[in-house]
Structure 1
Amino acid sequence: MMKPTFYLAHYRKVDGDRHSVKTHSVETSLFSKKFAAKIELDLIGELLGLLHDLGKYSFKYQCYIKSAVGLLCPGDKKYVDPRSYKGKIDHSTAGAQWINEASRDAIKINKLTSEIVALCVVSHHSGLIDVFDIAGEDKFSARLNKDFTLTHYCEAQEKIDHSISDRINELIKSENKNNQLKKLIIRIHELFSGSIRSFSKALLARFLFSSLVDADRLSTADFENPEDARLRYLGNYPDWQELIDCFEQISFEIRNEVDQKRCEISSSCRQRASDKQGLYYLTVPTGGGKTFSSLRFALHHAKQHKLDRIIYVIPYTSIIDQNASEVAKIFDGISKEIVLEHHSNLVPEKDTYRNRILSENWDAPIVFTTSVQLLETFFGGGTRSVRRMHQLAKSVIIFDEIQTLPIKTVHMFNNAINFLTNLCSSTVVFCTATQPLLHGVDPVKGAVTYSDAMEIVEYPPLFDALKRVHVQDCLKKGGWTEKKLAERVKALLHDKGSVLVVINTKPSARRLYESCKDLSKNVFHLSTNMCPKHRKTILDQVIDCLDPSNPKPVICISTQLIEAGVDVDFGAVIRCLAGLDSIAQAAGRCNRNGRQEGLGIVQIVNLQNENLDRLPEIKTAQDVTLRIFDEYKKNPAGFDKDRIGYKAMKRFYKYYFYKRAHEMSYPVSRKKLGRDDNLLSLLSTNQQSVDEYKRQHGSPSLYMRQSFKTAGKYFRVIDAPTEAIIIPYDKDAESIIAKLSVKLSLKEERSLLKTAQQYSVNIFPYMMKKLREENALFQTYEESEIWYLHAQYYSKDFGVSLEPVSQMEFLNA
């Protein structure tokens, strides 16, 4: 009997082992089936895996892959130059054409299934493609109608293993498969209407795409590096009860009423954990112990509903390390790797090989990540971030400081949350002291649901019980000079022993620091012009001064970076006029633990020379706060005599969201896109593109119409066009710069750059231009595009400077 031909998918050079297209396809289908089963689409998941690499059976692809790995050598009859063929042999379209050809006369639901499957298959290397592009071109149909000789469709059908082709045909004809999707589509139609219905179908396609991409990458990586497979959990986590037992052993010392209320909040979270799945709100004043209380809810809720993981989403990398470390310590007795941290500023000792492997698809029982990573998972382009999307199903997802959600993403985010909670068996918790009215925005474009029953704790009484500060309106006509404000700081330092001043802009913070630096032995400055290692050093010194067992007079002048999640407790706070949410967050750093007799003091001031030209969102928020303060003066009782209480906060968000409603669909300008449009539209009805298609060709027959690739291209959580530069902050940083000054392997360079993040500062283009003019920036080597700063342009007091400062003193030398 003739031995069947071996069709190569991957080759392991270390031992010469070969991974066949058949084995890879089956492995991918099993993973994808498992992932898609989370939303009861396991048969579609299986079909995706079997179809995705069909073109690899072609003669042309086999010649290429064997030449690339050295199984064919120059001179061999079938040898081709792999460099000239790389990325040019289409191996992903054939599988899409198979289901498309089989579904040409199908009924509507089968046609929709075919479109989604084909879309995922053709996109699995590039990221989801545009169905209709901006010009109204039908890119999807063009891909499916590509010449069979170029996609190797007929050749692949002849060569594919019969057991796989039989299963593909069985799945294509399967009524069970079509009924699975039909059930989900009916649910989408029951829940949503208009453009949100189309947006939800786009999220469904993205979920299935996530299942396929992760499955494909797992099969490939685990063949190429078998050790990787042994590092993965693959969902086999410790039992939730085991984690709960560890958590419940924590004892909290009750020293005062604040501690008592924290315990009551935690108890409420425990009690509500047995409730049904859905969206919940944990509205607790700052310092109310949200992190551990929400985690307690999540652990018990995950056990109750047999969920897969807990994902804790934090807005800033500056606070994620602290929170994740505190939680990880709880479970150290079970494993050092219960908690997975995934963010850009991971410290080297935590940036282990296993951590990187698990971060690729959030394969851990408890994940701490940033809102940037989460939003990229929902809406980013390419294939890297989307791998993780399926892991959001059957999870508890906690959004800490939800008020920091970028305004431009509000409607897309709301629709994604509704998709998760209604269709993916997920529970979402919005945590904050300043709950934004995400349920109060335009429901036609996307709003989350809200009812009092969704509040985990009864929050209005908490604002009275946990009131630890009195907010004073110290605004004055013409504003405060730095000199006058320094005098106020001095007086508060004398009365309260410690003062935090939060300023909107870095130049203003620097000027005030210069005015205050001689007021005490311990005067500190914090801003993002300082590298993370420097900021941590300063913050540690501040915390040491605030130690209640040995307090020292201390002044800290900071930008907003200190407001969210940084656990400090000052005697008094001065906050430069900003949004009421920011004022409340700053107030949370005053008398945080209720140790003062009476209330702490928070004073709101306006600076005379503040320039907000580059920060229009702060100016808008200031205007709304001024309106609230004016209304408060006329009727303090209407705000329960609390300028930052829950009534004031609700009114603030009502006004603020009204002012910025036009930004909430993620607008993209004509200058970028060629027309004025928004990402919400591109990912739902894509009306302008469809209208252009209709003008040229008549009504389209496709059900899916989104511009996925274009939306992914323009989606940015943070728009600021900054560039990172490395700071020679200490001897370790100097060593990294020296090592990067010679050409290294890509792996070595990436590893060093990861470590260098602790010594990096992101600067704006105008700063980059100025520093280059000053000859203060150097490339590590020619054309590396890795820049480091001259030491004379970095101050131990305020970080990066655009003019020379005194020779840098290495703080940690």
Structure 2
Amino acid sequence: MNYIAHVRESDKQIQSVEEHLLGVKALAESYGEKIGVRHIAGLAGMLHDLGKFTHEFREYILAAVNNPDAPPKRGSVDHSTAGGKLLHERFHTGTPSRYNWILAEVVGNAILSHHSYLHDFLNPDLESPYLKRVEKTRDELKEFDGSVQCFFEYVMREVEFQQYVSHALVELEAYLLKSFIGNSESNLMFLTKFIFSALIDADRTNTRLFEENKMVEPELDRRELFDAYYEKLMEKMNSYQIQDNAQTRINVLRRGMSEQCDQFAEKPSGIYTLSIPTGGGKTLASLRYALKHASLHHKKRIIYVVPYTTIIEQNAEEVRNILLDDGHILEHHSNVIDDVNDDDEHQDGIINTQQKLKLAKDNWDSPIIFTTMVQFLNVFYAKGSRNIRRLHNLCESVIIFDEVQKVPVTCVSLFNHALNFLKTYGHSSLILCTATQPALDFVEHRLEMSTDAEIIHDLDRVIEAFKRVEIVDKATDDRFDNDKLADFIVEKINEVQSVLVILNTKTVVKKLYRQLEGSEVPVYHLSTSMCAAHRSHILGQVRKHLNNKNEKVICISTQLIEAGVDVSFDCVIRSLAGLDSIAQAAGRCNRHGKQEIQNVYVIDHAEENLKHLQEIKVGKQLSKKILIDLKQEPYNHGGHILSAQAMDKYFKEFYTDFSSNLNYFIPKLQKEMIELLTSDRKHNSYNLAYTQNKKESFPLFIVNSYRTAAENFHVIDDRTTSVIVPYGEEGRSMIAQLNGDETIEDLSRLLRKAQQYTINLFVYEREQLVKNGGLVSLLDGKILALMESAYNMEFGLDLENDSQFEFGMY
């Protein structure tokens, strides 16, 4: 009997179940090796499709292939339970055995879930979806015993299987004995997610290669590539030294900090801070560290994690221009495909549009990746197999968190846990890169910083030496509305060539822009209602004006412009916000120190509605207190609003104010996400309630609620949907192509390209667009696009409503 795993679309060739299981096992083993769990990951790989060793599945897939217009009933065959059930019956019965039981639970959950998302071991209803699956009866899985027999006949003999499991148990014990700042439940949560990630990626990669009729892809020599990149970077940096301005104070300082990064790269991997002042050449200095460290310490990739989508295209373009290599640099702005509620077990084996989207290469295996904080956190905590598929590729990496102070308050503890895992188990080096370091080691679930963590020496001297602006306090005595602000802008543009205005909400930005757009001076508008390609085009126009000293220009923006966007204005006006935002805004003024000290004006805008922007609201209050202190006593807080002492005080007070929010509280459940994911049996309220209600112990070692936590996780407080927009010929062309019948390879390419042409809709925006016919559905509803009438070439998304949140960091 030839049992079938998949049937190739092009030539109807069959991939046997044993070929698929052994192929996935080999890939999963290679992924598991990264954290020393080769056999645990391989166990998941070799058992995940055990349930395809049945006559029922064979008949099902043949019927689906032979009768595409009348396929068999969806969900008619359960093939993902059998592997988990085998582990449960063989290693999870009788007297509890810690390592045997944990191994069966961790690997079993990954297997059961590989067509959807990890199951809860114990859920809020005090039930175990995991146990319900592995305890299915022989009546429910009629061919289970035959499947097991086939496995031992075709895939691995029973005695070899027992030896293999023994190796996996040794790995599990070693894993759990490693020191970690969390508890063993936290370690097990990350282990389960890592094994799930390895399995998902191995399964999809093996299936894609079979469908494309390719052998296993050759491994790229990363060290050779990073060495070549390092040489190109050094050529570029050496070329700066012969330029006319090479010996200016700022450029000498930049060069010195870059050299410190180079020397620091020789140190072991860890969690370090890189506190280069704004405008100090952070991108290239951190790249220098990353390339050298990756080569010396055998890292597989370099990942830049930025707060705003705006920075991605700029940083990626800067790096591309130096490394002269487009093919190995990936920009990942957002998930174009919505797979959060997918459960595609009923489609497995048959390659259709949805399966092609699933198989499209989207696993962050590129040598250099630029992505956002939202996408990074989604990998660890959000629902959807596309997110978690990338987790194993965060290991053995250099990860640079640009503007790390923008980690959303509610996610601070989750962020710290993820970084501690990547440091302790994942052998990654993590660089917290910002001029305004947040106090992440100050909070309850603290970040395990390495000793002597700061890369730059004598920071106070460097900050003072980089001073290019004066912060002018106009916020403590008076308030501005748009009329008064417009007059102030006109006054300033008569004194200087360029003015940047940064406000806290899209509504006031748009109104102020409309108020000024008829003036003689060119006025530009930026917000997250525009796709990345659109924003990039606007910034390009602004830069042309800035580079021509005979032209004046005004730019009005939300805070998206202040984190890492390389522009330099003569004057900046910043609406009062957190101290870090004021510092970042100051970094857009006299950025390269070419002029004498310039002014950054901090105002209090009366028309901004911060009701739904609590972090900005609290940050604004704390900054105002520090400004008042400095007005009363100029030597307070290091004598300067942007001093290291002022910043430290600000973040400690900020996190203290939000101390009840740091662990991601879920109002619907009245629980913190940290508890759902990491609480032990003694402190897990669901486990305690189960024991009390049932008068017996819960029969699993792990009691945590992985799926419930993921279903309730959103980095910002409202769910958003990514849509592709018809910006320019490129955007319109992409939408047309995604409506066609593309190959997996073409889809992979298009989905990467689409990153530049997406925006994110809040629920009410999506509902309004559905009502007025502004949305179009592509590829069986898996991708959404805007109609041309719903995208404005001036403002982007054509809705008058103001978004509730203005983070723009999807």
Shorter-chain TM band: 0.7 to 0.9
Aligned with 2:611 (options 610, 613, 634): 613
Cα distance, 1:426 vs. partner? 1.2
Alpha-carbon distance in structure 2 between the residues aligned to 1:561 and 1:696: 51
Is 1:99 the counterpart of 2:90 in the alignment? no
Q: Deviations over 1:164-217 (max 9, x none)?
A: 241675346754332221111011xx4345xx4312210011111111111111
Aligned to 2:54: 58
Alpha-carbon distance in structure 2 between the residues aligned to 1:726 and 1:114: 42
Cα distance, 1:279 vs. partner? 0.5
C-alpha contact (below 8 Å) 2:330/2:368 kept by paired residues: yes
Alignment of 1:787-806 (within 5 A): 788=786, 791=789, 794=792, 796=794, 800=798, 802=800
Aligned with 2:105 (options 101, 109, 115): 115
**For structure 2, which runs of at least 5 residues remain unmatched after alignment?**
337-355, 802-810
Aligned to 1:26: 22
Alpha-carbon distance in structure 2 between the residues aligned to 1:711 and 1:653: 27
Change (3 A) 1:249 1:64: same
Cα distance, 1:412 vs. partner? 1.2
Change (3 A) 1:723 1:183: closer
Alignment of 1:254-273 (within 5 A): 254-273=246-265
Change (3 A) 1:441 1:496: same
Q: TM-score, normalised by structure 1?
A: 0.87
C-alpha contact (below 8 Å) 1:328/1:338 kept by paired residues: no
- Which has the larger displacement, 562-571 or 639-648? 639-648
Change (3 A) 1:201 1:634: farther
Aligned to 2:75: 87
Change (3 A) 1:751 1:430: closer
Q: Which amino acid aligns with 1:648?
A: A
Aligned to 1:430: 432
Cα distance, 1:400 vs. partner? 0.8
Aligned to 2:705: 707
Alignment of 1:533-552 (within 5 A): 533-547=533-547, 550-552=549-551
Q: Which amino acid aligns with 2:671?
A: D
Aligned with 1:660 (options 638, 645, 658): 658
Is 1:179 the counterpart of 2:170 in the alignment? yes
Change (3 A) 1:161 1:400: same
Aligned to 2:341: none
Number of corresponding residues: 765
Query: Matched residue of 1:454: which SS?
Result: coil
Cα distance, 1:282 vs. partner? 0.5
Q: Which amino acid aligns with 2:56?
A: K
Query: Matched residue of 1:381: which SS?
Result: coil
Is 1:170 the counterpart of 2:161 in the alignment? yes
Q: Deviations over 1:589-647 (max 9, x none)?
A: 001000012x1110100122222223232211111111221222233323332211221
Alpha-carbon distance in structure 2 between the residues aligned to 1:797 and 1:175: 61
Query: Matched residue of 2:390: which SS?
Result: helix
Is 1:578 the counterpart of 2:577 in the alignment? yes
C-alpha contact (below 8 Å) 1:25/1:53 kept by paired residues: yes
Alignment of 1:763-774 (within 5 A): 763-764=761-762
Alpha-carbon distance in structure 2 between the residues aligned to 1:411 and 1:427: 19
Alignment of 1:678-697 (within 5 A): 678-685=672-679, 687-697=684-694
Change (3 A) 1:88 1:707: farther
Alpha-carbon distance in structure 2 between the residues aligned to 1:712 and 1:331: 38
Q: TM-score, normalised by structure 2?
A: 0.87
Change (3 A) 1:56 1:543: same
Aligned to 2:133: 143
Alpha-carbon distance in structure 2 between the residues aligned to 1:19 and 1:339: 33
Q: Quick one: higher RCO (CA 8 Å, sep 6+), 1 or 2?
A: 2
Alpha-carbon distance in structure 2 between the residues aligned to 1:271 and 1:141: 53
Alignment of 1:166-565 (within 5 A): 166=157, 170-171=161-162, 174-187=165-178, 190-192=179-181, 196-227=183-214, 233=219, 238-250=224-236, 251=238, 252=240, 253=243, 254-332=246-324, 335-344=325-334, 360-442=362-444, 446-450=445-449, 453-458=452-457, 459-477=459-477, 479-547=479-547, 550-565=549-564
Q: Percent identity?
A: 35
Superposed CA RMSD: 3.2
Query: Matched residue of 1:291: which SS?
Result: helix
Query: Matched residue of 2:472: which SS?
Result: strand
Change (3 A) 1:590 1:408: same
Aligned with 1:132 (options 122, 132, 137): 122
- Which has the larger displacement, 234-243 or 371-380? 234-243
Q: Which amino acid aligns with 1:269?
A: C
Aligned to 1:77: none
Alpha-carbon distance in structure 2 between the residues aligned to 1:43 and 1:412: 28
C-alpha contact (below 8 Å) 1:47/1:168 kept by paired residues: no
- Which has the larger displacement, 256-265 or 238-247? 238-247
Alpha-carbon distance in structure 2 between the residues aligned to 1:167 and 1:31: 22
Q: Which amino acid aligns with 2:201?
A: D
Cα distance, 1:752 vs. partner? 8.2
Aligned to 1:8: 4
Alignment of 1:585-734 (within 5 A): 585-597=584-596, 599-670=597-668, 675-685=669-679, 687-697=684-694, 698-722=696-720
C-alpha contact (below 8 Å) 1:520/1:554 kept by paired residues: no
Q: Deviations over 1:269-323 (max 9, x none)?
A: 0001111111011011111111111111111111221222211112222221121
Aligned to 1:808: none
Alpha-carbon distance in structure 2 between the residues aligned to 1:173 and 1:452: 39
Alpha-carbon distance in structure 2 between the residues aligned to 1:485 and 1:302: 49
Q: Which amino acid aligns with 1:525?
A: H
Query: Matched residue of 2:467: which SS?
Result: coil
Cα distance, 1:705 vs. partner? 1.3
Cα distance, 1:541 vs. partner? 1.5
- Which has the larger displacement, 508-517 or 423-432? 508-517
Query: Matched residue of 1:191: which SS?
Result: coil
Q: Deviations over 1:386-421 (max 9, x none)?
A: 111111111111111111112111111101111110
C-alpha contact (below 8 Å) 2:360/2:748 kept by paired residues: no
